Amino acid sequence: MPKETILVVDDERLVRWSLQQKLEQWGYHVSLAEDGATALGRAQLDNPDLITLDVKLPDMTGIEVLSELRKRNVHVPVIVITAFGVVDDAVQSLKLGAYDFIEKPINFEKLENALRNALETRRLRTEVARTHEIQRSEWSVDHFIGVSDHVREVIELIRKLAASEASTILIQGESGTGKDLVAHAIHCESSRREGPFYAINCAAIPESLMESELFGHEKGAFTDARSQKRGMFEMADGGTLLLDEISEMNLGMQAKLLRVLEGQSFRRVGGVKNLSVDVRVIAASNRNLEEAVRSSRFRQDLYFRLAIIPISLLPLRDHKEDIPPLLDHFIRYYNRRFHKNIQHLTKEAEDLLMNYDWPGNIRELRNAIERVMILAEGNRVAAKYLPIRISEGGSLPVPLGEGSENGGIRLPGGGISLYEVERELIRQALEQSRGNKTLAAKLLRITRDTLRYKVKKYRLE
Ligand SMILES: Nc1ncnc2c1ncn2[C@@H]1O[C@H](COP(=O)(O)OP(=O)(O)OP(=O)(O)O)[C@@H](O)[C@H]1O
Ligand SMILES: [Mg+2]
């Protein structure tokens, strides 16, 4: 994450200096101003993420600076630093939308907390604003393309579920089949569309943090819990929460989740109050959950609870009649994005696309189109621009064929580092799958767990 910039406004050189020391020590980037006029200039020039503002300045008061900032439409969080006991200033600044105030002499622990909270709030606001943006442009059900019975059924289901009261929904399908898209479309079509949409990837969050991610924590609940934090369930109140890769959630958390789904109330970690929220939970998985239930990696009761309303997305190879409309759709999309004017693919290119078996499903198709449209000139896309694995009719670039006598590989006379070879192949698989581990594992014919282990071993994260 890039360093966040904090603008420190204070007329006393010593205060500026000591604040700068502290803030840099905490990992922030610091910019300084000694009076109101400079502060206003810096606020627009340096684009700070936060401002600490002393009320007593030589040319104007901090309160005046604050109201001037608002007039100029600068909306970064401001922490006002007031003289001890001057309640008026504090009240005034809060009215003007200051995030918080701190009295002099500055208590650094308090300051650090106020900073963290303010920056976290800012991050969330941007996050929410961004999610809303994305929803409007890319995620409506109108962008769910296809002519097959399968796609038509899915679209109908999306509409029905969106309009229903269903509080939990399960979406299953191989990687790249459109689970995220379906989840967003359900949200956008529902009466919750003005509410928040949050997604959490259960595979990406360390087990120890999962509970606090989902349910939040109180200050002091554990060593790193320096301030209170709201969890995803609270933040998604009135909206939709997507639990992606739900199969990766550990059994303990699964039990807690089930309780919440049944009662819709929970406690923050370290909290005593029961909180209840109105959230539609959509779980997604690219692993077969029934299989996970059979091997006791997934709780059966949770599975039943989620699977009341299941949506199963077929792999693209099982509904290839949707490839032509998808092609049209992506070509139009990338024409707009890249300012190109490509009309269609050559017959040869289209045949190759129809014959390929698309292990990475619609995502792989989309990526392939993106690639050829960047490379193509004129108004047609020729086959030569397609990724090799597609243009060679579905075989892998390195012929590690089981059939051939020596696996298609020759040991060089001078020998080779097996370590390097394995590392390189894994790196390529991750590159080809754009970091998607399920797909990469498939390309390497190993399990996801094995891949995970090797990625760690070779430090390929
Ligand atoms: N029916 C469809 N019409 C148009 N675009 C689609 C369709 N299905 C999927 N896509 C596009 O394919 C890409 C992959 O879809 P998505 O991210 O929803 O897959 P996913 O199932 O969530 O994959 P993963 O399991 O890897 O998270 C996205 O860019 C999405 O917009
Ligand atoms: Mg997804």
Ligand 2 geometric centre to CA of 100 (Å) = 38
**Closest atom of ligand 1 relative to the 151 alpha carbon:** 1
For the stretch 201-206, contacts whose Cβ atoms lie closer than 8 Å and that sit 24 or more positions apart, written own/partner, are 201/244, 201/245, 202/243, 202/244, 202/245, 202/246, 202/247, 202/248, 202/249, 203/244, 203/245, 203/248, 204/245
pLDDT, tens digit, 9 for 90 and up, residues 318-371: 999 999 999 999 999 888 877 888 888 888 888 899 988 888 899 989 988 887
Task: Give residue 309's pLDDT.
Answer: 84
- Give first-to-last CA distance, the chain, whole Å: 16
Helix axes of 448-457 and 418-432: crossing angle, nearest 10 degrees = 120
Task: Give residue 130's pLDDT.
Answer: 57
Same fold, 139-314 and 418-457: no
82 lines ligand 1 (CB under 6 A): no
Specify the CATH number of the domain 139-314.
3.40.50.300
**Which residue is closest in CA terms to ligand 1's atom 16?**
178
| Rg (alpha carbons) of the chain, rounded to whole number | 27
Ligand nearest to the CA of 178: 1
The domain segmentation of the chain, as residue ranges, is: 5-125, 139-314, 317-391, 418-457
Task: Give residue 324's pLDDT.
Answer: 95
Q: Which stretches of the chain score pLDDT less than 50?
A: 394-408
Q: Which CATH number fits domain 5-125: 3.40.50.300, 3.40.190.10, 3.40.50.2300, 2.60.120.10?
A: 3.40.50.2300
Ligand 1 geometric centre to CA of 363 (Å) = 6
Specify the CATH number of the domain 317-391.
1.10.8.60
Task: Give residue 258's pLDDT.
Answer: 95
What tokens were used for 315? 């792999």
Ligand nearest to the CA of 285: 1
Its pTM stands at 0.62
Task: Give residue 259's pLDDT.
Answer: 92
**Which residue is closest in CA terms to ligand 1's atom 15?**
178
Ligand 1 geometric centre to CA of 362 (Å) = 6
The 3 state secondary structure assigned to the chain is CCCCEEEEECCCHHHHHHHHHHHHHCCCEEEEECCHHHHHHHHHHCCCCEEEEECCCCCCCHHHHHHHHHHCCCCCCEEEEECCCCHHHHHHHHHCCCCEEEECCCCHHHHHHHHHHHHHHHHHHHHHHHHHHHHHHHCCHHHCCCCCHHHHHHHHHHHHHHHCCCCEEEEEECCCCCHHHHHHHHHHHCCCCCCCEEEEECCCCCHHHHHHHHHCECCCCCCCCCCCECCHHHHCCCCEEEEECHHHCCHHHHHHHHHHHHHCEECCECCCCCEECCCEEEEEECCCHHHHHHCCCCCHHHHHHHCCCEEEECCHHHCHHHHHHHHHHHHHHHHHHHCCCCCEECHHHHHHHHHCCCCCHHHHHHHHHHHHHHHCCCCEECHHHCCHHHHCCCCCCCCCCCCCCCCCCCCCCCCCCHHHHHHHHHHHHHHHCCCCHHHHHHHCCCCHHHHHHHHHHCCCC
Check: CB of residue 449 under 8 Å from CB of residue 437.
no
| Residue 346 Cα to chain centre, angstroms | 36
Q: How many other CB atoms are there within 10 angstroms of residue 285's CB atom?
A: 22
Specify the CATH number of the domain 418-457.
1.10.10
**Closest atom of ligand 1 relative to the 173 alpha carbon:** 21
Ligand 2 geometric centre to CA of 207 (Å) = 20
Task: Give residue 90's pLDDT.
Answer: 74
> Ligand 1 pocket test: which of 362, 370, 430, 448 has the largest number of ligand atoms within 8 Å of its C-beta?
362
